[in-house]
Homo-oligomer: A and B are copies of this chain.
Amino acid sequence: MRADAQRNRELIVAAALEVFTECGADASMDRVARTAGLSVGALYRHFPDRRALLEHIATDALSDLLAFGRAASAEQSATRWEVLVRLVAHCTVLPLAMTKSLLGDIGAHVRLAALAAESDALFEELARGAQQEGDLRGDVAPRAVIGVLNTAVCRPGARVDDPLVTVVLDGLKAR
């Protein structure tokens, strides 16, 4: 791919991330293109339709999250709870939750659905481990932890020092 096309593609992805995060998944393609400093036509050269763009962004974010999570998870010296907390801190933009709000029907995109499943499995495994190690409260199902984190932490604009993140992590800790 030509250097300028590559650059423009990246501009588009960055713009899409910004615009969808800020305005929601209904933002117009034109707005994304203008934010990237390009025309719609250029956008459509890189992504055949709106869905493809959303899928790309979601896939990107999930892949990144998963890679980070697996690396963190591999460190045997850390408790599962610590790994979970680090993962939460890594959930900056457009993670777990967004994928589902962005795409009505995740199932349609194979790779994305697979990533979502893997990501869910990782979180569940960490939650289960943290419960066994006695750090995570036992009265919340491991699967439910994903939902809690999704809603509370993995929101556009959420920050590590967001009071809600602190509160939720404290609320999840075993007493």
Write the residues of chain A forming the contact surface with B, with a CB cutoff of 8 angstroms.
Answer: 26, 137, 140-141, 144-145, 147-148, 151-152, 155, 163-164, 166-172, 175
Residues of B within 8 A of A169 (CB): 171
Residues of B within 8 A of A141 (CB): 163
Q: Is the CB–CB distance between B168 and A152 below 8 Å?
A: yes
Instruction: List 17 A–B pairs whose Cβ atoms lie within 8 Å, in order of A's numbering.
Output: A140-B167, A141-B163, A144-B163, A147-B164, A148-B164, A151-B155, A164-B168, A166-B171, A167-B168, A167-B171, A167-B172, A168-B168, A168-B171, A169-B171, A170-B170, A171-B171, A175-B175
Q: How far is the CA of A164 from the CA of B169 in the complex (A)?
A: 11
Q: How far is the CA of A152 from the CA of B97 in the complex (A)?
A: 13
Q: Is the CB–CB distance between B171 and A147 below 8 Å?
A: no
Out of B137, B152, B155, B170, name the residue touching A164 (CB < 8 Å).
Answer: B152
Tell me the minimal C-beta distance from A43 to chain B in angstroms.
18
Residues of B within 8 A of A26 (CB): 26
Residues of B within 8 A of A175 (CB): 175
Q: How far is the CA of A14 from the CA of B147 in the complex (A)?
A: 28
Tell me the minimal C-beta distance from A58 to chain B in angstroms.
18
Residues of B within 8 A of A144 (CB): 163
Tell me the minimal C-beta distance from A5 to chain B in angstroms.
14
Q: Is the CB–CB distance between A151 and B171 below 8 Å?
A: no
Starting from the known contacts A166-B171, A168-B168, 12 additional A-B residue pairs (CB-CB under 8 Å) come to A26-B26, A141-B163, A147-B163, A151-B151, A151-B155, A152-B164, A152-B168, A164-B168, A168-B171, A169-B171, A170-B170, A171-B172
Tell me the minimal C-beta distance from A169 to chain B in angstroms.
7
